[in-house]
Amino acid sequence: MESEAKSACERVVVTGLGAVTPLGNSFEASWSALLDGKSGIRRATKIDVNFFPCKIAGEVVDFDPCQYIDKKVVRRNDTFVHFAVAAAKMAAIDANLSLQWKDPYRVGVLIGSGIGGLQTIDVQSKILHNDGPRRISPFMIPALIVDMASGVTAIELGAMGPNFACVSACSTGAHSIGDAYHFLRLGKADIMFAGGTEGSVNPLSLAGFCSMKAVSTSHNDEPELASRPFDAKRDGFIMGEGAGVIVLETLAHALARNGKIYCELVGYSANCDAYHITAPVLDGRNLAAAICSALKEAGIGSEEVDYINAHGTSTLYNDLCETNAYKLFFGDDAYRLNISSTKGATGHMLGAAGGFESAVCAKVISTGEIPPTINYENVDSQCDLNYTQKRCKRDVEVAINDNLGFGGHNAVLVFRKFVH
């Protein structure tokens, strides 16, 4: 086994991108649809929505997990695990990794989920009620626990390094990437597969979010218009599902194998509002503090930031909190930034959001293409920044991804154009 006595200042780069989203069953398909301003939100087909006030969702469609996992493994695991394994394997292919590891103990997996196997819970609880305890699947417990996304992915990849699952609601994906970044920075791994996954479109979860009055109910007949981040006529988020996984490597490892580099991950910060179980602090002071901390770790000034992929859920409190945080930290310079939310197109992928949105940041830096915030049509006087109504070209040196989660969690990642 190679020595772990490495420098605590290893540089970390992004070398592979993988995703399964309502926009497409690969990152490239999702990215192309995102740039074109398409929506993956439609009338839900996995739920009998006749008795639900919200009848639409960002569903993953035409996805066959057996393309990535043996049928027996598929049957034993929940949908969120299927998405995670598929996204990780696609990220490995994109990174041109052979999966024949020189030292498997230096390859880790950190893929979290905000909810985990809720589909399994929903199905198995009905079996218990209707048929009794003897009919419960022996695979129920492992199928529903959150760490199985990382565990099964590690089995499929043969990765024996750092492995666990982060759970922080809708900031899970970003926290997972941040924790993986620290493993690499500290020299405890050479490669980390990191991100988030969620198989959340099912009756139980939709009923819960409807009961909270958190989801949009005004566009059931026009699903593609329902998710409206920062728009004055927004009335709630739309549930989404899928996975986003990126490959992180130490720069030394990526260069040694002549790997493709999308960008460098240079900063991460996490803090908590310590305020409310679901509502953020509206003045944005804690998110602003997290942005400040992440940029400080990166050694980057606020004036160097070009693009922010916002959490942008299409809820009043979230949109105000983020906008206020940007104004508080960047001051008048906030109006110079390009800001966009992918959730107008995908819906809210919950724990998977930060994984996919970090991959978007990497692609923005590597291509100079900035995706639009679709459905931003009516200016909210309190949300008056540049939310990028149409796709545009811009040389992006520094991009930020921020995510917020129930429980008051804030996570900020800073990506920079790679310069050797």
Q: Does the active-site annotation cover 348?
A: yes
Q: Does the active-site annotation cover 170?
A: yes
First to last CA, the chain: 28
Q: Which of 175, 253, 311, 409 is the catalytic position?
A: 311
Q: Does the active-site annotation cover 383?
A: no
Name the region of 359 (left: φ>0; alpha: ψ -120 to 50; beta: rest). alpha
Q: Which of 82, 253, 348, 409 is the catalytic position?
A: 348
Q: Which of 54, 166, 170, 361 is the catalytic position?
A: 170
Q: Which residues are catalytic?
A: 170, 311, 348
